[in-house]
Structure 1
Amino acid sequence: MPEDTLQPLSNNIRLLGGILGETIAHFEGKRIFNKVEKLRRHAQKARLGSATAHKDIERELQTLSHNEKYKVAKAFTEFLRLANLCEQVHRIRRRKEYQRTGSNPQRASPLDTFSRLLKAGISRKAVTKALLEVQIELVLTAHPTEAMMPQAIRAYRDLSMCLLKLDSAEPTVFERELIVRDMRAIVIQLWLSGVVRDKKPTPVDEARYGLELAERILWRAVPDFHYLMSAAYKEVVGDMSELYPRPIRFASWMGGDRDGHPGVTAHVTKRVLHETSHAATARYLEAIKLLRHLFVFDRDTRGIRLQKTCQKYLDTMERKLKEFRRGLPKGKTSFTRVEFLALLYDLQKFLQDNGVEDISRGPLQEFIWRVRVFGLCFLKLDIRQSADVHETAIDEILGGKYAGLPEQRRIHMLLKGIRKPPRRRRLSRQSEEVLKTLRLYKDVPLEFLGPYIISMAAKASDMLGVLFLFRAAGVDARVRICPLFETPESLASACKVMDQLYRIPLYHRHAGAQQHIMVGYSDSAKRGGYLNSAWEIYGLQKDLLALGKKHRVHTVFFHGRGGSVARGGGPIETALLALPRPLQARTIRVTEQGEAIDSKFGLPDVAERTMELYLSGFMEAVLSRPQKQPAAWTSAMERLAYRSKSAFRAVVYGEADFMKHYLQLTPTAELGLLKIGSRPGRRKKDGGLESMRAIPWVFGWTQSRTLLPAWLGIAEAMDSEIKAGNLKTLQDMYRRWPFFRSVIDLVEMVVAKADEQVTEYYSALLVEPSLQWLTKDYLDRLARTKKILLKVMKRKKILETSPVLSRSIRIRSPYVDVLNILQAHLLKEYRSLSRPSADLRKTLALTIGGISAGMRNTG
């Protein structure tokens, strides 16, 4: 991006940085303001190569009390968050500039997508068919990687709107002063309010955050996205007036995910569903009120007939919505999204038939788009529970005769129980809760609920067991059962398990023509490294697609991606274009987690852009012709995956002191101070790395700027290939194979964010001398990884082709450096005390949140 296009971004950062500085000086005095400025200058000098700058930062920090350190940490944290906000606003600014010029559409916008597909030789008929069939479901989860509190997120959104107002037109001097005044008020509010949570959010709190996102952001973004998509289709492909695509929809795990979370009960899930439905129907009732004011015609015969008919439709919708709201708590509802849409379409057609189709556009068309996407509950809720919890419940129902059986005997017993449910027994509290949860599928409208997801699925009996439990709970509805294959062992056996299930007539009938399968990136990457995990999941998808075709079942993949690369995250379009082809089902589900939710959906325009990227990437993946993959590439990937896994495991599982070193080097053990999620950080109270969830595992490495899980093992694997004379093969793979290119590009992004100096600093201060050789070993491997990536990409420096990201890292690095140095000293003090003070805990927690803001992709 040319420097002149970045000038508005620099201006915004300077403006907000100046307001923040004025606020600090006013409320904290010149001493704190001057300390912050000195620390900032020292950090910038350190980045320019000053040998003494780090010592200068240490000296300045040592002169501060705990309370003053908290204020300094808050200053640097707020600046990083303001920089993030300015970057989001700049994305919107660039998008609007593309839209204004029109002649050169933005990459992956609907106009660009449809144009590129037609230029690639894909027929208009094929594009239209794909658009009507494509279904991309984005599933919001409450995974604890968002360090900001909800009230702060709201304040930053308000600040963003102020910056956009400055852009929207040429404001007068007076108007600009008013906008800047509002911005000062918001920054003051942020400075004077708490930054760190006093207590963890509850599952209901998390669900309300998701609902607020739907109400404040998605409610506005969805119709605007559909409008731009329709306009682009009309310009490039043809008329869309008789077409009703719904390519993007939303779901949630907030209040439905009970895997390892005893706080998510059937009562909590039901409460969340009722609250989201109440919010959606309230919005629709407001929309009906707006239409009543719109549908006012002349009092002649024709006008009276038009108005009377329109009001009749609106009366029917209002009555049915109010009946639905009253009946929902009692489980007595009959109104559905389909029926609602039928009334809206009839009203729209009546207006068109009577020559007033212009009135049918605008508010009525927006109403239709919203009902199509949100239905009667805003966010459909998935239910997730662990396979071992189901096994315990089944064993209790069957009188303790199940758990000890071999797999084939289990399957036989389950099939018998599905056909004829056993008599009820007295169950434990946990097992009774399982049945209560399953009964939700008959107590609330089925359209409110997504698939039932089985985490840690590994055997055919895990899926049949859930069918058995549904029958035992008295639920006859056809519920989609979705296994989550996440460990290396379950990924390896997934095809065998699904083949076994498809061969069972009862299960095949239940699944019908479509089977949802969720693949988890986190646990497999934690056990075998990122490269091996990416290849395993790529290969598994190809095998499951072939298996589905054999059994005449369309396989729908649900990708459990995190925000970080080590947990499957990364740029949207890159990930979608790297999917194996051909895709049988034109449906895909993807999780959006933690801090990624706000960065992708935090503002209406940003949410629209995210939807565009998903639509573009998936349309291209669906319609592009499968590329022939040379056998040499597959062989090379097999060797790379095997060697990277071996190298990864040799360090993570082979080094006896690995966990000891990891917990000393990173603040993983202290992450609980941040209170950023309602779910426990471990699946089990005891145990080491195996029981640790992937999020804190990755989050900890990000704090120390090592980011080891995303790159460890890659240098060793590629070095082996290069020594075998296969460098040109790797270079060809990078140039021509979307899957391999996406993997390498994501690793390049991670190593660009990794920082050897910061990791060394943490090690020298926090790691006992006998273990510091491990730090040196990691950093040697990181340096080798960078060199080898440059060879494969045929480049001279990291991020050579990504100047915007490179500049972003360069701007924020000095501010993150100060927080890292402060955090390292606070960790040393914290660990030396039996009873750390509240001020120390609070300041340490704040540095974790600040570094998280600076690094962006945290967990």
Structure 2
Amino acid sequence: MRDSALSLGASRPTSRDVRQNANLLGDLLIEAIGYLEGEEAAGLVSKARKAAAHETEEGEAPGLDHLFADLSNDQAVFLARAFASHSLLANIGEDVAGRRRHAEADARPGDERARTLVDAVTALKASGKTDADLAKIFAAMNVVPVLTAHPTEVRRRSMVDRETEISRLMSLRRHHLPADLEADIRERLFREIALMWRTRLYRPERITVKDEIRNALSIVRTSILPAMVDLYEEWSGKIGSHGHIAPLLKMGSWLGGDRDGHPGVNGDTLKLALSSQSRVILDWYAGEVRKLWSNLAVSTAYTPVSDELLALAAQAKDPSVHRLDEPYRLALELIFDRLTAVSQKLTGQWVAYATSRTDVEPYAHPDAFVADLQIIIESLEASGGERLVGSALRTLVAVAKACGFHLMSLDLRQNADVHERTIHELYQRSGSGVRYLDLDEEARSKLLIEELSHQRPLVSPFTAYGEETAKELATMEAAAQAVRDYGHACIGAYIISKSATLSDILEPLVLLKQVGLVWGGAAPRSSLKIAPLFETIEDLENGPRVLRQWLELPISRTILGDRPVQEIMLGYSDSNKDGGYVASRRGVARGASALAFEADRMGVGIQLFHGRGGSVGRGGGPAAEAVLAQPAGTVQGRIRMTEQGEMIARRFGDQPTARRNLDGLAAAVVQSSQRDTHRPDPKVEAAMTALAQASFEGYRALVYDDPAFEDFFWSATPIGEIVGLNIGSRPASRTASRKIEDLRAIPWVFSWSQARFMLPGWYGFASGVARADLSTGQLQDLAGGFDFFASLLSNMELALAQSHMGIAARYVALAPDQDNAQRIFDTIKREHDAAQSIALAIRGGASLLDNQPELAESVALAGHSVDPLNHLQLELLARRRGGEQAEDVRLAIQLTVAGIAAGLRNTG
């Protein structure tokens, strides 16, 4: 049976706005192809679109399949381009209409949900919170979306630029325009779509880390930073204390610092990332200072100014005789020159608007920049009152506190196995005779604690080290220099992948000691936060024990500082690949609660870092809902979470969307932090434990215990082709093997999405319910007893709706071993149908997503765009696996992969 969300699209037509937008853009694409390639080419696309409309619920499209089978390789590439372009344009049409629906929903009377931080604060005040209480809440808040690279990222920056402009033009059409303006916009849309058609969708070579940094910063510059500025301006005016607001929202990044399994990330990429980020934020500061200079032509002939301001103004270089009675302008000239000097130092370039090199002293750190701005504020207040300060100046201060000179804090991440090998070589080359890799865990921990108890280095500048060790030390030295240049806030945390033991936490501390970021002695200190990442189901279960061992060490308290807060990262992706959807979500939620309890018992705060992906199988879903679903007591005003790949553009691609998502995230953190802690009924707790364990067993039985499953996965999904495509800068697997254990979680999820299984988002749930023998009533109790379970069900329903078992069955037909392939597929299909039935029974629905018509509409629209691409991909995979190795076929497969990813959006 075809998924009911797509069936729903037939009985419930898409909204008028979405339909009109999609039709217009689709028609303009055909028009552009006809104009550029000829009417015969446009006719082929139109014929294929009409044939695709007759697809059956079983995933069959006889007319389309016959058409595709007769295509030459050149025609296959051509149609792949056309369908991929149509998929991108359909997304734009939906997004433009969607932003309108969001705006209308926000203004709907009677809706009292706190979707913004201002609304959340209003609710807190109504509950009795005082201004002092709120100031304390804000001071403790740390809300940080972290942009990460994506091994399956498929879009070029050039295409993103075209999409942005098309989106902007479509947004203008929402207004009632005169006929001549409407015609002009249509012509400009035609031009953009024609240019998009003539733009190569993807790179001929694999994307580099530099490309990833540039792509992400383009979105930061055009939408995320302006959204943050808007929010800080609103918050300073509406909820700040005397116009001041704590830097409660910041941005983070892994781009250029995440070297776990990535040969292209090193000290040079770390430097590049920070200097590129610095250029963006320093240019913005310079522009704001120029605006203030224009506004503050205040003369001492008419008003007194503070002595501090006069002293600041006196430092201005070569003041104009026309400005001698305008100390605010002189002070701002000095500030501008010092920002230029900072840019020269950090980026090697002047800030925007600078006309010459400056020889003034650069600011040593962002706090000095803020202090100079504060002098201006205090002088204005003293001479004319708060109303003279203005929102622009206060907002500049707020953003400077949040962004510093680095814009986004950059995390470092490395695998614990690399740390072990590096430590081993350092001891070997030191002549100590210590063979670190041969030691047991107790001996390792004892040795590392001793190493942190003194200041003597292990590293010698006169010793040559192996390639891996030299690279690790060079990267850490680059981090140390970054801290000296940008300040401590430029490095968010040092993430330790594959953390499983106490020594895994101690090893990077010893390594960082070698470059001066950790100081040894009786009371060792650290400039960086060390954050273990617990990824697998087993690691999540053992995490609280490891945390307790760490916090019981006296050195942990001096390393964590006076107000100790320990950051822990929780992995959604590998735990899902390890144990399935339900066991993973349960493991993360249970681990979060246990970690928070353990930290609280030891008198330490906790900051959880959620390593979520875009897809449901990797913890995806609305970020604000995910925060509200966290166990009580685990948020504590602090949360970091990853934003990956195509979801960065999806959630932050334009300023209104970025603002809405960032505001909603901050509001959710406040609300979640204020919830009372309560334990569920013991029977409900036991049922949840039973379901998670049974689901784990059901998932493992298929993925790891069935000897034929590995071959099934590699033949019934396009994983083999994905590994060979130039998408993402990171290898798809940690080793050269085909083992599921070694494959990275993102291409694992991506492959199932391409073949329309969406298996990581639901498999194991139904078999877990059956194995645990749970009734519908018990499952409803679970949904009421655990916020995360209610969220799990909602996101699982989306994954079920996005799946298409009819099309998935056609991928199964590609497998050489049809007996085992059909057997495994029958198991998957039964699980899918049972999961759908159970999910609907729990909430009393008749069809998937019938309680979320807009989301159902979105899934239906995506299906109409993506289904033809799947059929074309199937034809091309059959050709390539049949021995056709032409470059055209490889290119066409790449185009279908990208088009499907773009259409489904949350694919990895």
When normalised by structure 2's length, the TM-score is 0.89
Secondary structure of 1:796 counterpart: coil
Give the distance between the partners of 2:277 and 2:512, measured in 1 at CA.
25
Among 568, 582, 598, the alignment partner of 1:531 is 582
> Is the counterpart of residue 338 in structure 1 residue 372 in structure 2?
no
Q: Structure 2 counterpart of 1:549, which letter?
A: D
Q: Percent identity?
A: 29
Among 483, 492, 495, the alignment partner of 1:453 is 495
Q: Structure 1 counterpart of 2:275, which letter?
A: H
Shift of 1:214: 1.8
Matches within 5 A, 1:184-333: 184-230=190-236, 233=238, 240-297=241-298, 300-302=301-303, 308-328=326-346
Q: Structure 2 counterpart of 1:360, which letter?
A: V
Give the distance between the partners of 1:773 and 1:574, measured in 2 at CA.
38
Q: Structure 1 counterpart of 2:742, which letter?
A: S
Secondary structure of 1:45 counterpart: coil
Tell which deviates more after alignment, 806-815 or 114-123: 114-123
Shift of 1:299: 9.1
> Is the counterpart of residue 683 in structure 1 residue 701 in structure 2?
no
Matches within 5 A, 1:109-128: 109-118=116-125, 126-128=133-135
Among 622, 628, 632, the alignment partner of 1:577 is 628
Give the distance between the partners of 2:416 and 2:694, measured in 1 at CA.
31
Contact 2:59/2:806 (<8 A) preserved: no
Give the distance between the partners of 1:767 and 1:255, measured in 2 at CA.
41
> Is the counterpart of residue 798 in structure 1 residue 804 in structure 2?
no
Contact 1:222/1:369 (<8 A) preserved: no
Contact 1:40/1:814 (<8 A) preserved: no
Give the distance between the partners of 2:59 and 2:448, measured in 1 at CA.
70
Q: CA 1:356–1:579 in 2, change beyond 3 Å: closer, same or farther?
A: same
Among 24, 27, 30, the alignment partner of 1:21 is 30
Among 833, 838, 843, the alignment partner of 1:783 is 833
Matches within 5 A, 1:40-189: 40-47=49-56, 54-97=61-104, 108-118=115-125, 126-167=133-174, 169-189=175-195
Shift of 1:327: 3.6
Give the distance between the partners of 2:634 and 2:330, measured in 1 at CA.
45
> Is the counterpart of residue 6 in structure 1 residue 6 in structure 2?
no
TM-superposition CA deviations, 1:624-681 (whole Å, max 9, x none): 2234411111101100000000000000011111010111110011013441211111
Match of residue 349 from structure 1: 378
Q: CA 1:11–1:617 in 2, change beyond 3 Å: closer, same or farther?
A: same
Tell which deviates more after alignment, 572-581 or 4-13: 4-13
Secondary structure of 2:846 counterpart: coil
Contact 1:452/1:480 (<8 A) preserved: yes
> Is the counterpart of residue 660 in structure 1 residue 711 in structure 2?
yes
Secondary structure of 2:145 counterpart: strand
Q: CA 1:817–1:436 in 2, change beyond 3 Å: closer, same or farther?
A: same
Report the RMSD for the aligned CA atoms in angstroms. Answer: 2.6
Q: Structure 2 counterpart of 1:143, which letter?
A: H
Shift of 1:300: 5.0
Shift of 1:185: 1.3
Q: Structure 2 counterpart of 1:677, which letter?
A: G
Shift of 1:702: 0.3
Shift of 1:576: 0.7
Contact 1:826/1:844 (<8 A) preserved: yes
Contact 1:464/1:507 (<8 A) preserved: no
Contact 1:91/1:606 (<8 A) preserved: no
TM-superposition CA deviations, 1:160-192 (whole Å, max 9, x none): 11122223x543322222222221111111101
TM-superposition CA deviations, 1:127-169 (whole Å, max 9, x none): 45323432111110012233211111111111111122223x5
Match of residue 677 from structure 2: 626
Give the distance between the partners of 2:105 and 2:874, measured in 1 at CA.
44
> Is the counterpart of residue 408 in structure 1 residue 442 in structure 2?
yes
Among 398, 405, 422, the alignment partner of 1:393 is 422
Among 818, 842, 854, the alignment partner of 2:891 is 842
Match of residue 587 from structure 1: 638
Tell which deviates more after alignment, 600-609 or 815-824: 815-824
> Is the counterpart of residue 552 in structure 1 residue 553 in structure 2?
no
Q: CA 1:276–1:6 in 2, change beyond 3 Å: closer, same or farther?
A: same
Contact 1:522/1:566 (<8 A) preserved: yes
Give the distance between the partners of 1:576 and 1:52, measured in 2 at CA.
37
Q: CA 1:286–1:740 in 2, change beyond 3 Å: closer, same or farther?
A: same
Q: CA 1:91–1:584 in 2, change beyond 3 Å: closer, same or farther?
A: closer
Matches within 5 A, 1:468-507: 468-475=510-517, 476=519, 477-507=526-556
Give the distance between the partners of 2:81 and 2:578, measured in 1 at CA.
36
Secondary structure of 2:284 counterpart: helix
Among 28, 31, 43, the alignment partner of 2:40 is 31
Give the distance between the partners of 2:867 and 2:559, measured in 1 at CA.
55
> Is the counterpart of residue 745 in structure 1 residue 794 in structure 2?
yes
Q: Structure 2 counterpart of 1:458, which letter?
A: A
Match of residue 392 from structure 2: 363
Give the distance between the partners of 1:22 and 1:358, measured in 2 at CA.
55
Match of residue 316 from structure 2: none
Give the distance between the partners of 1:776 and 1:99, measured in 2 at CA.
45
Match of residue 312 from structure 2: none
Secondary structure of 1:718 counterpart: helix
Give the distance between the partners of 2:325 and 2:501, measured in 1 at CA.
61
TM-superposition CA deviations, 1:570-621 (whole Å, max 9, x none): 1112211111112374211101001110000100111001102201221110
Q: Structure 2 counterpart of 1:378, which letter?
A: L
Shift of 1:111: 4.6
> Is the counterpart of residue 431 in structure 1 residue 438 in structure 2?
no
Q: Paired residues, what number?
A: 847
Contact 2:278/2:347 (<8 A) preserved: no
Give the distance between the partners of 2:620 and 2:754, measured in 1 at CA.
17
Q: Structure 2 counterpart of 1:342, which letter?
A: A
> Is the counterpart of residue 692 in structure 1 residue 743 in structure 2?
yes
TM-superposition CA deviations, 1:186-216 (whole Å, max 9, x none): 1111101111221111112211222222222
Contact 1:196/1:842 (<8 A) preserved: no
TM-superposition CA deviations, 1:796-822 (whole Å, max 9, x none): 221121101111222231331111111
> Is the counterpart of residue 762 in structure 1 residue 811 in structure 2?
yes
Q: CA 1:407–1:160 in 2, change beyond 3 Å: closer, same or farther?
A: same
Match of residue 721 from structure 2: 670
Give the distance between the partners of 1:34 and 1:265, measured in 2 at CA.
50
Match of residue 654 from structure 2: 603
Secondary structure of 2:144 counterpart: strand
Contact 2:282/2:405 (<8 A) preserved: yes
Contact 2:593/2:634 (<8 A) preserved: no
Unaligned runs of 5+ in 1: none
Q: CA 1:849–1:494 in 2, change beyond 3 Å: closer, same or farther?
A: same
Secondary structure of 1:398 counterpart: helix
Contact 1:73/1:843 (<8 A) preserved: yes
Q: Structure 2 counterpart of 1:453, which letter?
A: I
Give the distance between the partners of 1:103 and 1:796, measured in 2 at CA.
27
Give the distance between the partners of 2:543 and 2:203, measured in 1 at CA.
41
Secondary structure of 1:397 counterpart: helix
Q: Structure 1 counterpart of 2:622, which letter?
A: P
Give the distance between the partners of 1:764 and 1:630, measured in 2 at CA.
47
Give the distance between the partners of 2:332 and 2:734, measured in 1 at CA.
50
